Amino acid sequence: MQDYHDFLAEVLIDEPTLQARITELAQQIDRDYEGKKVLLVCILRGALPILVDLMRHLTVPTAIDCMAISSYGVGARESTGQVRMTLDLQTNISELDVILVEDIVDSGRTIGQVMDLLKTRKPKSLKVCTLLDKASRREVQIPIDYRGFLIENKFVFGYGLDIDEYYRNLPFIGVVDLNKYKPGL
Ligand code: PRP
């Protein structure tokens, strides 16, 4: 397995900056949901780190659930346009205040389809929180209520974002130098 230092072009967002912004997002959510309770929905798998760090800073009563959606083909670097649900929620979200939590919104297809599906289940409210927003790539216009960082169209990894399923564990967001990354090594 290649060491990430071999193909790291730059650290785009370092750990202290990530954590400080996530703390701010939690404070914003706390203010907006004062007197209410909230259900955070983690869109597996990339949103795991932000969900965990976000929830630890929230003071409003918080429940969590997970769903899994696949939008990229195995090994693919770009959205294929194919979105399928591979794991559904356990929670009945009818009459609940729900926040969908994502690591990144790119074309917007994934979160758009998730929203379309979940709206049919009549939540009291449905909002979107994403750590990263590649707005320049958007094909499906969706409202983003809580955005960590607006980023350029670079191939990023770490803090939930994978390269061929690995490196999600890194505590920062890095940019891949595709000339140096060797798949399979
Ligand atoms: C990534 C990411 C979003 C989606 C964004 O998920 O976590 O869900 O792609 O792309 P879009 O806005 O173009 O739809 P992926 O399918 O790679 O799964 P993962 O979270 O398990 O990495």
CATH number, domain at 117? Answer: 3.40.50.2020
Who's near 166: CB < 8 A, 6+ residues apart? 1
CA angle, residues 131, 135, 136, in degrees to nearest 5: 145
CA–centroid distance, residue 104 to ligand 1 (Å) = 7
H or E segment and range at residue 22: helix 15-32
Q: Which residues contact 54 (CB under 8 A, 6 or more apart)?
A: 22, 25, 26, 29, 40, 101, 129
pLDDT of 82 reads 61
Residue 10: inside a domain? no
Contact 59, 30 (CB under 8 A): yes
pLDDT in tens, 114-144: 999 999 999 999 999 999 999 999 999 999 9
Q: Domain total for the chain?
A: 1
184 domain-assigned: no
Residues 10-20: tens digit of each pLDDT: 999 999 999 99
Task: Tally Cβ neighbours within 10 Å of residue 28.
Answer: 13
Task: Answer whether residue 98 is part of any domain.
Answer: yes
**Does the beta carbon of 96 sit less than 6 angstroms from any atom of ligand 1?**
no
Assess whether the C-beta atom of 46 lies below 6 angstroms from ligand 1: yes
Catalytic residues: 106
Give residue 26 CA to ligand 1 midpoint distance, Å. Answer: 22
pLDDT of residue 69: 86
- Asked if the structure places residue 172 within a domain, the reply is no
Q: How far is the CA of 4 from the centre of ligand 1 (A)?
A: 21
- Does 20 reside within a domain? yes
Q: Would residue 180 count as lying in a domain?
A: no
Domain residue limits at 113: 15-152
Please state the pTM of the whole predicted model.
0.94
Q: Look at residue 50 and tell me if it is in a domain.
A: yes
45 lines ligand 1 (CB under 6 A): yes
* Whole-number Å distance between alpha carbons of 140 and 121: 21
Q: Is 65 touching ligand 1 by the criterion CB < 6 Å?
A: no
- Report whether 127 contacts 98 (CB < 8 A): yes
| pLDDT confidence of residue 71 | 60
Q: Is residue 170 part of a domain?
A: no
The chain-wide mean pLDDT, for the chain, equals 94
